[in-house]
């Protein structure tokens, strides 16, 4: 177990000159970024700027081929698997089995983190209920859900896994107003619980309100980094 050692203020994310390739294309072209514990960082930038890749690098899903990358105290180049089980990643694909019900998906993904123990059915049902997936929906197979409902289910998996670092790729997209409010509430709750959040969003007006910091990404590098105006 790699301890999250060092002073309490040691950055949760520490990238320096990090280069990441997608096939042969440098999606990240030498990125420098530090994120401290408890921060909410909003990534903005045009399509294809590298926001998604940045989040995937932090999740240990994309290898860093040059430069340094430490997340939650462990070196991503050495062993990304330690980082992976401590982060929560919400990507474009829901990561759900289309032919299983919401409840079955939640059970599988929650318990896969802690096989053999934890996550009793009652807890899972409660989370589903709170995210607006309770009752009849719970037993419906994912293939019959709308885009927004799938996103809620994917968020429910994150809630159950209680990650230390939340990596949210356009969490607001595809959700109704209540759903977007739910995302903001979850982010706030995660920060209260001591977690750190990085997200990309095109809903800038909304996302600015929850973010502490605005980081602009373009061409695979950070072009701007400033505190967010908080409402």
Partner 1 sequence: MAKRLSLFAAAVRLVAGKDLRLEARTRVGLAQVLPFAVLVLVVMAFALDAESELLVRVSPGLFWVTVTFAAILMVGRSAALEIEPGVGDALRLSGVSPSALYLGKTIAVALQLLVLEAVLVVAIAILYRTPLAGWILGAATLLTATAGIAALGTLLAALASSARGRESLIPLLMLPVLAPVLIGATRATDAALGTSDGRQGWPWVALLAVFALSYVTLGALAYRPLMEDS
Partner 2 sequence: MTTAHPTHASEEEASDSAGPTGTGSVATRVLGLFILVGGVLLAALGLALTDPDVQLGERMRPIYVHVPTVSAAYVLFVLNAVGSAMWLWRKSRFWDQVAAAAAEVGLVFLGLTLLTGAFWGRITWGVYWDWDARLTSTLVMFLAYLGYVALRGSMEDPAARATRSAVVGISAALLIPLVHKSVDWWRSYHQDRTLFGQLDPSIDGLQLFTLFLGLSLGMALAAWLLIHRFRVGWLAMQAEEGGLDDALAARRAEAASAADGVEVEAGGVADLVAAPPAEKEQP
For residue 141, the partner it binds in partner 2, partner 1, none, with Cβ less than 5 to 8 A by kind, is partner 1
| E strand residue ranges, the chain | 13-22, 25-35, 40-44, 64-71, 74-75, 87-90, 165-169, 196-200, 213-218, 221-227
Smallest distance, Å, CB 225 to partner 2? 13
Closest approach of partner 2 to the CB of residue 167, in Å: 20
Which of 83, 187 has the CB closer to partner 1?
A: 83
Cα–Cα distances in angstroms (integers) from residue 206 to residues 19, 91, 163, 172, in the given order? 30, 19, 23, 9
Q: Which is nearer to partner 1, 59 or 214 (CB)?
A: 59
d(CA 216, CA 203): 14
- Identity of the residue, 75 or 104, whose beta carbon is nearer to partner 1 in the bound complex: 104
Residues near partner 1, by CB under 8 A: 56, 59-61, 84-85, 87-89, 91-100, 104, 108-109, 111-117, 141, 154, 157
Rg (CA), the chain: 17
Q: Give first-to-last CA distance, the chain, whole Å.
A: 40
* Beta carbon nearer to partner 2, 157 or 215: 215
Is the distance from CB of 12 to CB of 76 less than 8 angstroms? Answer: no
Closest distance of CB 26 from partner 2, Å = 5
Nearest distance in Å: CB 108, partner 1: 5
- Interface residues toward partner 2, by CB under 8 A: 19, 21, 23-27, 29-30, 44-46, 48-49, 63-69, 75-78, 216, 218-221, 223
144 touches, from partner 1, partner 2, none (C-beta below 5 to 8 Å by class): none
CB burial of residue 230 (10 Å; 0-12, 13-18, 19+): exposed
Partner whose binding site includes residue 157, from partner 1, partner 2, none (CB under 5 to 8 Å by kind) = partner 1
Q: Which of 141, 216 has the CB closer to partner 2?
A: 216
Query: Do 199 and 168 form a contact (C-beta atoms < 8 A)?
Result: yes
CB 230 within 8 A of CB 41: no
95 binds, among partner 1, partner 2, none (CB under 5 to 8 A by kind): partner 1
């Amino acid at each position: 177990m790699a301890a999250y050692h060092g002073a309490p203020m040691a950055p949760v994310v520490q990238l320096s000159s990090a280069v990441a390739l997608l096939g042969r294309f440098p999606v990240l072209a030498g990125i420098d970024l530090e994120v401290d514990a408890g921060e909410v960082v909003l990534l903005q930038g045009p399509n294809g700027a590298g926001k998604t890749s940045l989040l995937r690098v932090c999740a240990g899903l994309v290898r860093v081929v040059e430069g340094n990358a430490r997340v939650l105290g462990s070196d991503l180049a050495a062993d990304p698997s330690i980082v992976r089980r401590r982060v929560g990643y919400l990507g474009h694909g829901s990561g759900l089995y289309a032919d299983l019900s919401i409840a079955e998906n939640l059970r599988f993904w929650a318990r896969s983190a802690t096989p053999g123990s934890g996550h009793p059915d009652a807890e899972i049902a409660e989370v589903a209920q709170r995210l607006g997936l309770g009752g009849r929906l719970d037993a419906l197979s994912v293939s019959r859900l709308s885009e927004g409902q799938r996103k809620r289910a994917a968020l429910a998996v994150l809630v159950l896994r209680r990650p230390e670092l939340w990596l949210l790729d356009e969490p607001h997209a595809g959700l109704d107003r209540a759903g977007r409010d739910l995302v903001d509430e979850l982010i706030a709750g995660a920060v209260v619980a001591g977690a750190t959040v990085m997200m990309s969003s095109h809903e800038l007006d909304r996302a600015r309100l929850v973010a502490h910091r605005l980081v602009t990404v373009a061409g695979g590098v950070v072009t701007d980094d400033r505190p967010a105006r908080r409402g």
